[in-house]
Structure 1
Amino acid sequence: MKKIIALSVITSGLLTAAGYKIPEQSLNSMALGAAYVAHTSGADTNYYNPAAMSFMADKQYAEGSLTLAHLPSNVYTLIEPYSGKSEEENILIPDMHYVANAMGDFRWGVSLTAPGGLTKRWETPYQKLYAEEFTLKIIELNPSVSYRINDEFSIGGGLRFIYSEGKVYSDGAGAGAPIKREMEGDTFEFGYNLALLYKPTSDINLAVTYRSNIDLKEEGQANLYFGGVGKQYDADVTVPLPAALNLSVSKTWNDTFTLELNYERTYWSSYETLDFNYGSPITPVLVPYFDAAQPRDWEDTNTFRIGATIELDKITMMMGFALDETPVPDKTIGFELPDSDAKIFTMGFRYQQTDALSWGAAFLYDGKDARSLTPGVADNQVLVNGGGFSGGGAYLTTLGVAYEF
């Protein structure tokens, strides 16, 4: 089987965890900017550190939240007619979590999350040539168990069941290129997660979590057109969804104020090349456009997070800050992923309505740094001219409710 570049936007989108990853998958994690690994407290403990389930009170926990993600336009600036602006997007992201009663030293829980996804659309001609529309959805079901070794130490782990689907359209007519692509695909894959928690004292927690690499094999159909004449192909591509390691420490003062520091390492260097396959030879005239492996050469990234929690009578206040690196080098940046380093600011609260019921809200601002490109560096035939990206980022607003019984 040969390769097909028509799937490249889907693959790039699946591997945008540093740029479009959504690590905040609950009310508390959103309010703390995902500095929520060592000191977890609700049903979302199953997702963020399943080992910590061992130290929760012996009752059942359930919670869910809904997040509205607003993605401002990305702006590419060069000279006319190469400059362009993407469309604004609004995406709803749900999550649900549950932790069961203890069974001796064992405990189990389950989470349903949407840990990544976006919609990126360009209507300007030279951007539309590469990414007229890209829509990606990722859903993860994550059952986990914990085991309490003693009063200071516990371990945990679980399985990751991931379903993703994507939709891609690109059209070069406005840029003078008589080529067009339409593609839809999906995949169902598996992975695992591991966790441990150590409590050297009653007010200090040390935690380590690890999420495995998952090879994603996207399968679907790609329609390729040249001069208005098209043909459909079965297509697939296998790429890594890289592993991630979290190291966290939290300290609590007077059972009221907690500070957590979190370091995350994401192993993007496994993403070296995009290599695509389809079920029959493509039309020869399209080979230069759609039959070429694309180097990516992404880099491992570091994310540094700090979160603060203040517990009052019935209200818990939370805030966070993070520095997030992009894995995308200038050489392989594209319009489907105009990513850059980011600074993340968060805040939120939880109100204890009754002994069993609580609710709250949180807000996150992801501010992307402007990114200038040196002429002659990028592989993309537009971006090789230089220019720069600005705008982008995200505004996330979350409403959540939790119940203990």
Structure 2
Amino acid sequence: MLNTPITRSLALCLATSVCGVQTALASGFMLPESSTAGIGLTNALVANPEERGAFAYNPAAMGFHDRSSLALGTYFVGPNFSVDTTSGHHDSDGAEWMVVPMIQGAFALDDHWRLGLGVSVPFGLETRWSDGAFPAVSGTRTLGGFSIPLGHPLTSKVEVVDLSPTATYRLSDDLSLSAGIDIYWARQAKLDSTLGTLSGDGHGLGFNLGALYRQGAWSVGAVFHSSATLELEGDFTPKSSVLVGLGRLARGQSAELDLSLPWRLQLGARYAFDERLAVEFDISRTGWSAFNDIKVTGRHADTVIFVDQNDWDDANAYRLGATYRLDDRTRLSVGYTYDETGQGDDHFSARVPDNDRHLFGLGLARSLGNGLSLEAAYMYVRALDRDYRGSRNYRGGDLNGSTALSGEYSMDAHLIGLEVVKVF
């Protein structure tokens, strides 16, 4: 049952869990990594009734564990984004290393019911291209005899924290079901356009459903997270005092943005060859078609300030993970994922320079006794190079899909996860 020290620990972690800066490591701007076990298995963990690291991926897994637990962890991300354009080679100016929290509590109420509470960062991105990286939107242009900076509208930052309370009910020895809500908080949002910068924050709400069935050596699982709309509110600051003086823009105004998060569905099957070796294969489907556009409007005048059209497609990820128990106290894991992008050429965006990518993971878990265990994992992410040439000529307005963003894009990243799990 829940006790006062655990409550204080969880409250402290909630307070400190939003201090990191995020970058996209899966397709689009999604960050599916939610536990150290998941990092080692490249997120192939939806059909696993044995690992407590599976709770964050499929809360229905809590039904197969009789004792309560609290997992506190973090992972460190070292991303590298670069582009080669006509002006040379350019690296994104984001932080070299970033910190992402992972928290999951599971509390056994009786033989059937479990309550869970998780904190994760399922979505995030940060790209900061230096002025000059894309010549068509760098420098200034002349309007009415005045030189106006083009603004280089390719600095973007979004951090989305998910607080997810869930309830799990074990119907039988073989079947467990779960339901919960996803309370999203966009702690920081900063989007540049050719006209100015929007800075703000906001909230949104979604739901999740999970199921896990085990029969002999086989287990199958499924989890669904609904789409959600985050209503961001903040201030829009023009980049050019000249445009303000000419009456083209207000000096500053309150603005809002509805940011659509995609739905997510993950299906998996796991087979335990014996007490030591088990293998799981998952398919994930992400509803990126919900991420239609980025439209910033003035809150009072109700005018459209700028629009980025996205029109992405839904995309799949194929995940394979294996666990091997060396002894009663030590578990090894390995994983591989091929993750498809939903971003086509017609609306390519340098805010999220996405492409298909490979994920490779390794993990180690060690029991320390007295219900305490320590887990560590490493993941390497490598996106396929993308030679983008633009599907239309840029004549101002929406940059996405235009020749202004032509270049050869590269991305890779290193992840190191650490987690402490206490069973009580």
Specify the TM-score bucket, using the shorter chain as the normaliser. 0.7 to 0.9
The Cα of 1:242 is off from its aligned counterpart by 1.3
Partner of 1:220: 234
Aligned partners of 1:181 and 1:222 also within 8 Å: yes
Equivalent in 74, 86, 92 of residue 86 of structure 1: 92
TM-score in terms of structure 2 length: 0.82
Partner of 2:119: 112
What does 1:232-311 correspond to in 2, within 5 Å? 232-281=252-301, 291-311=305-325
The Cα of 1:276 is off from its aligned counterpart by 2.8
What does 1:101-140 correspond to in 2, within 5 Å? 101-127=108-134, 129-131=151-153, 133-140=155-162
Letter in 2 for 1:95: M
Question: Is the aligned partner of 1:363 residue 2:378?
Answer: yes
Are residues 227 and 381 of structure 1, via their aligned partners in 2, closer, same or farther at CA, if it must alter by over 3 Å? farther
**Counterparts of 1:377 and 1:132 in 2: how far apart (Å)?**
18
Equivalent in 140, 155, 172 of residue 177 of structure 2: 155
Aligned partners of 1:91 and 1:118 also within 8 Å: no
Question: Is the aligned partner of 1:373 residue 2:395?
Answer: no
Letter in 1 for 2:108: N
Partner of 1:324: 339
For the residue of structure 2 that corresponds to 1:327, the secondary structure is: coil
**Counterparts of 1:261 and 1:234 in 2: how far apart (Å)?**
47
Letter in 2 for 1:181: G
Partner of 1:5: none
For the residue of structure 1 that corresponds to 2:122, the secondary structure is: strand
Which structure carries more relative contact order (alpha carbon 8 Å, separation 6+)? 1
Partner of 1:8: none
What does 1:57-206 correspond to in 2, within 5 Å? 58-75=66-83, 77-80=84-87, 84-89=90-95, 90-127=97-134, 129-131=151-153, 133-168=155-190, 170=192, 181-201=196-216, 203-206=217-220
Question: Is the aligned partner of 1:211 residue 2:225?
Answer: yes
Aligned partners of 2:71 and 2:419 also within 8 Å: yes
For the residue of structure 1 that corresponds to 2:239, the secondary structure is: strand
**Counterparts of 2:49 and 2:39 in 1: how far apart (Å)?**
13
Question: Is the aligned partner of 1:401 residue 2:420?
Answer: yes
**Counterparts of 1:381 and 1:297 in 2: how far apart (Å)?**
10
Are residues 244 and 376 of structure 1, via their aligned partners in 2, closer, same or farther at CA, if it must alter by over 3 Å? closer
Aligned partners of 2:279 and 2:323 also within 8 Å: yes
**Counterparts of 1:310 and 1:69 in 2: how far apart (Å)?**
26
Partner of 2:9: none
Percent of pairs identical after alignment?
Answer: 24
The Cα of 1:59 is off from its aligned counterpart by 1.5
Aligned partners of 1:139 and 1:164 also within 8 Å: yes
For the residue of structure 1 that corresponds to 2:119, the secondary structure is: strand
**Counterparts of 2:343 and 2:400 in 1: how far apart (Å)?**
17
Equivalent in 392, 395, 402 of residue 411 of structure 2: 392
Aligned partners of 2:208 and 2:225 also within 8 Å: yes
Are residues 170 and 242 of structure 1, via their aligned partners in 2, closer, same or farther at CA, if it must alter by over 3 Å? closer
* Alignment size in residue pairs: 376
Partner of 2:42: 33
Partner of 1:174: none
**Counterparts of 1:318 and 1:251 in 2: how far apart (Å)?**
14
**Counterparts of 2:376 and 2:108 in 1: how far apart (Å)?**
27
**Counterparts of 2:82 and 2:257 in 1: how far apart (Å)?**
27
**Counterparts of 1:93 and 1:188 in 2: how far apart (Å)?**
19
The Cα of 1:368 is off from its aligned counterpart by 0.7
For the residue of structure 2 that corresponds to 1:34, the secondary structure is: coil
Are residues 381 and 338 of structure 1, via their aligned partners in 2, closer, same or farther at CA, if it must alter by over 3 Å? closer
Q: Which consecutive unaligned segments of at least 5 residues does structure 2 have?
A: 1-21, 139-150, 245-249
Computed over aligned residues only, the root mean square deviation of the Cα atoms, in angstroms, reads: 2.6
The Cα of 1:102 is off from its aligned counterpart by 3.8
Are residues 316 and 139 of structure 1, via their aligned partners in 2, closer, same or farther at CA, if it must alter by over 3 Å? same
Are residues 259 and 164 of structure 1, via their aligned partners in 2, closer, same or farther at CA, if it must alter by over 3 Å? same
**Counterparts of 2:64 and 2:384 in 1: how far apart (Å)?**
40
Letter in 2 for 1:144: T
Partner of 1:9: none
Aligned partners of 1:351 and 1:360 also within 8 Å: yes
TM-score in terms of structure 1 length: 0.85
Partner of 1:6: none
Are residues 279 and 109 of structure 1, via their aligned partners in 2, closer, same or farther at CA, if it must alter by over 3 Å? closer
Aligned partners of 1:266 and 1:302 also within 8 Å: yes
Aligned partners of 1:44 and 1:98 also within 8 Å: no
**Counterparts of 1:350 and 1:180 in 2: how far apart (Å)?**
50
**Counterparts of 1:221 and 1:45 in 2: how far apart (Å)?**
40
